[in-house]
Amino acid sequence: MRNHLSVFAIVLAYVLTPVDSVAADQAPGETIIVTATRTEIPLSDAIVPVTVITREDIELSLATDLADILRFQAGIDIGRNGGPGQATSVFMRGTESNHTLVLMDGVRMNPGTLGGAAVQHIAPEIIERIEIVKGARSALFGTDAIGGVINIVTRRADAAFLETAVGAGSFDSQSGFISAGNRGDNGDFGVTLNWQDTAGFAPRTDSDIERGYDNLSANLYGAHRFSDNEISLRHWQTQGNVEYLDFFLTPADQDFENSTTAVELDTRIGSRGTSKFIASYMQDDIVQNQSDDFVKSDRISLDWQYSHAFARHTLTGGLFAVDENASTLSFGSGFDEDTEVRAAFIQDQWSHERHKTFVALRLTDHEAFGNQTTWNAEYAYELTDNWTINAGLGHAFRAPDATDRFGFGGNPDLDPELADEAQIGLRYAPGSRHSINIEFYRNDIEDLIEFDLQTFELRNIAQAEIRGAQIGYEYRGERFVVHAEVVKQSADDAVTGDRLLRRAEETASLSYTQDIGAHRVGLAFIASGDREDFGGVKLDGYLLADLTAQFNLGRAWTLHARIENLLDTHYQTADNFRMQERGGFVQLKYRWN
């Protein structure tokens, strides 16, 4: 790992040398986010750390799924059991993989079984931007949001457009998509269809058998505006087949289907009030093709909030209700469980001169685990025009899902996981080009749920301690952007001192993009320290690099190219599961608008 960081430092020193002259500061367009406070605010007004991955970033990456995009973010560890479509986990700020809440346009995707959302099946072509909020957010979104929230905002048209592309690459990979939409005075509509197919590679280090993957995704939306109202309908769905090797290295495969459907009504009440009501349905299904085994999760949610803007603060309150069914069959046994959750929340955003505060309180009535109270309290102060200090406290929880309680190794006596988080940060921004962010965080989790290899049963360990620091730097030139982050953290069992599994204690990321005439190139690095896995296995650290490019072939045509794992690094994020070697991918795109 030391050698990897040395190479990373050399590259960082080279890239940070400007390749064009520094021009006068120019104010970029303000980025509006919704995830940090459940209301629309400028990114600069967010007190807690928020990362926004734009459509421009996504297109340049030529990533194949959401996990491919997230893995170059320092502080987010990705654990993947092999190649495309294989089970994938997201560990944010040292917390568990089921402590990160994933939303699709504000609709919860985490299933009632198996914990984390299926990020390996989310096609980048449907995404307009990704908002990542680090830190406890149960006061805003309920269970699961102990480590943070990832909100996927799907594409919406701002004018008439048609976009289509075909692609191919290593491992006999093929892809194609078409996206179209229009926006008028009274409404907008659009559709995106995406297809992927790959022969894949051997996912296990102890077998040479290759396993493939295919995925067909669709995203549709429509909205109608009338008077002071807007009603919209959104539907996202993905389905396909994943080939894998079972415990005995026997080839097997499973069909999957994930979907979210939402109807939303937004109403402006007077000059200062806004109401938002969302009725949604989520489905997460897996069916084995070599047996009768299956995993199924369905959720109906009602989510209403009202916000009122006063002179110096915005008060928001709301109600939440969910009815969920989780069922499974595995090796002849299974469960079928219904769960009801009801919640009410209230929050306030206040700002005056150099001060900003945010407070939130949520009362949750969980059918299986009773009443839970979660909260956030945050404060920011502008020391000068360039320096801002911020601090935040949060209390969050995660209710064990049905698989935790009744699945293989399940324990019906599990208690909810409770987290108390504190963070403090310092931001330096001398103008619109440079910015430096320094963050310190700690998270104490009581009754963390871990698998006991001696009893082959899930259990609540006494406490987990997470301590970390992150520093980030960004520079935006006339025709290039540099972004670098370094994270140092520890995530340990507070009783035994053992490291929690599959988290790196240090990571560093670097991305560099350069416009060359009408073309664009990008280079991204991620250096990760070693991590521990089950059975006392230690996985070595690694350094990864991706090289990407966009070539403008005319008014409507662009050629996209990507060399993944440029350094041909051999590495593992989960023991005995092989990760992709060097590969190349190209895509030809046509866009009319």
Where do we find the tokens 């299904």?
285
Q: Which pLDDT score, from 0 to 100, does residue 462 have?
A: 78
- Could you give the CA distance from residue 89 to residue 68 in angstroms, rounded to a whole number? 12
* Segment (H or E) for 130: strand 127-134
Q: Which pLDDT score, from 0 to 100, does residue 367 have?
A: 93
197: three-class secondary structure by DSSP: strand
- Give the pLDDT band of residue 13 (cuts 50, 70, 90): very low
CB contact set of 222 (below 8 Å; sequence gap of 6+):
187, 188, 189, 190, 232, 233
Q: Is a pLDDT exceeding 50 seen at residue 10?
A: no
pLDDT above 70: percentage of residues in the chain: 95
Q: Which pLDDT score, from 0 to 100, does residue 29 have?
A: 62
Q: Which pLDDT score, from 0 to 100, does residue 15 have?
A: 36
Instruction: Give φ, ψ of 518 to 5 degrees.
Output: -90, 5
- Could you give the CA distance from residue 439 to residue 522 in angstroms, rounded to a whole number? 26
Mean pLDDT, residues 54-77 taken together: 95
Q: Which pLDDT score, from 0 to 100, does residue 453 have?
A: 75
358-372 confidence digits (pLDDT tens): 999 999 999 999 999
- Could you give the CA distance from residue 476 to residue 492 in angstroms, rounded to a whole number? 37
552-555: which pairs have CB atoms within 8 A and are 24 or more residues apart? Answer: 552/517, 552/518, 552/519
Q: Is a pLDDT exceeding 80 seen at residue 328?
A: yes
Mean pLDDT, residues 128-147 taken together: 95
With beta carbons less than 8 A apart as the criterion, state whether 70 and 90 touch.
yes
Chain centroid to CA 162: how far?
27
506-526 confidence digits (pLDDT tens): 999 999 999 999 999 999 999
Residue type, 10: I
Q: Which pLDDT score, from 0 to 100, does residue 431 have?
A: 83
391-417 confidence digits (pLDDT tens): 999 999 999 999 999 988 889 999 999
Residue type, 232: S
Mean pLDDT, residues 566-591 taken together: 96
Q: Which pLDDT score, from 0 to 100, does residue 257 have?
A: 97
With beta carbons less than 8 A apart as the criterion, state whether 122 and 260 touch.
no
Mean pLDDT, residues 75-94 taken together: 93
468-485 confidence digits (pLDDT tens): 999 999 999 999 999 999
Mean pLDDT of the chain: 92
Q: Which pLDDT score, from 0 to 100, does residue 275 have?
A: 97
Mean pLDDT, residues 160-183 taken together: 97
- Could you give the CA distance from residue 543 to residue 507 in angstroms, rounded to a whole number? 10
With beta carbons less than 8 A apart as the criterion, state whether 289 and 280 touch.
no
Mean pLDDT, residues 497-501 taken together: 91
Please classify residue 517 by burial: count the beta carbons closer than 10 Å to its beta carbon, then call 0-12 exposed, 13-18 middle and 19+ buried: exposed
- Give the pLDDT band of residue 452 (cuts 50, 70, 90): confident
235-294 confidence digits (pLDDT tens): 999 999 999 999 899 999 999 999 999 999 999 999 999 999 999 999 999 999 999 999
Q: What is the 3-state secondary structure (H, E, C) of 82-105?
A: CCCCCCEEEEECCCCHHHEEEEEC
The two structure tokens encoding residue 224 = 């109608």
Domains within the chain, CATH numbers bracketed: 2-592 (2.40.170.20)
| pTM exceeds 0.95 | no
- Give the pLDDT band of residue 333 (cuts 50, 70, 90): confident
Q: Which pLDDT score, from 0 to 100, does residue 507 have?
A: 97
Task: Choose between 92 and 10: higher pLDDT.
Answer: 92
pLDDT above 90: percentage of residues in the chain: 86
With beta carbons less than 8 A apart as the criterion, state whether 140 and 37 touch.
yes
- Give the pLDDT band of residue 20 (cuts 50, 70, 90): very low
Please classify residue 400 by burial: count the beta carbons closer than 10 Å to its beta carbon, then call 0-12 exposed, 13-18 middle and 19+ buried: buried
Q: Is a pLDDT exceeding 70 seen at residue 9?
A: no
176-193 confidence digits (pLDDT tens): 999 999 999 999 999 999
- Give the pLDDT band of residue 534 (cuts 50, 70, 90): confident
The two structure tokens encoding residue 294 = 């299956």
Q: Is a pLDDT exceeding 50 seen at residue 11?
A: no
- Give the pLDDT band of residue 528 (cuts 50, 70, 90): very high
- Give the pLDDT band of residue 49 (cuts 50, 70, 90): confident
Task: Choose between 300 and 74: higher pLDDT.
Answer: 300
Instruction: Out of 15-19, 90-94, 559-563, pick the least confident.
Output: 15-19
Q: Is a pLDDT exceeding 90 seen at residue 317?
A: yes
Q: Which pLDDT score, from 0 to 100, does residue 471 have?
A: 97
- Tell me the β-bridge partners of 364: 343, 372
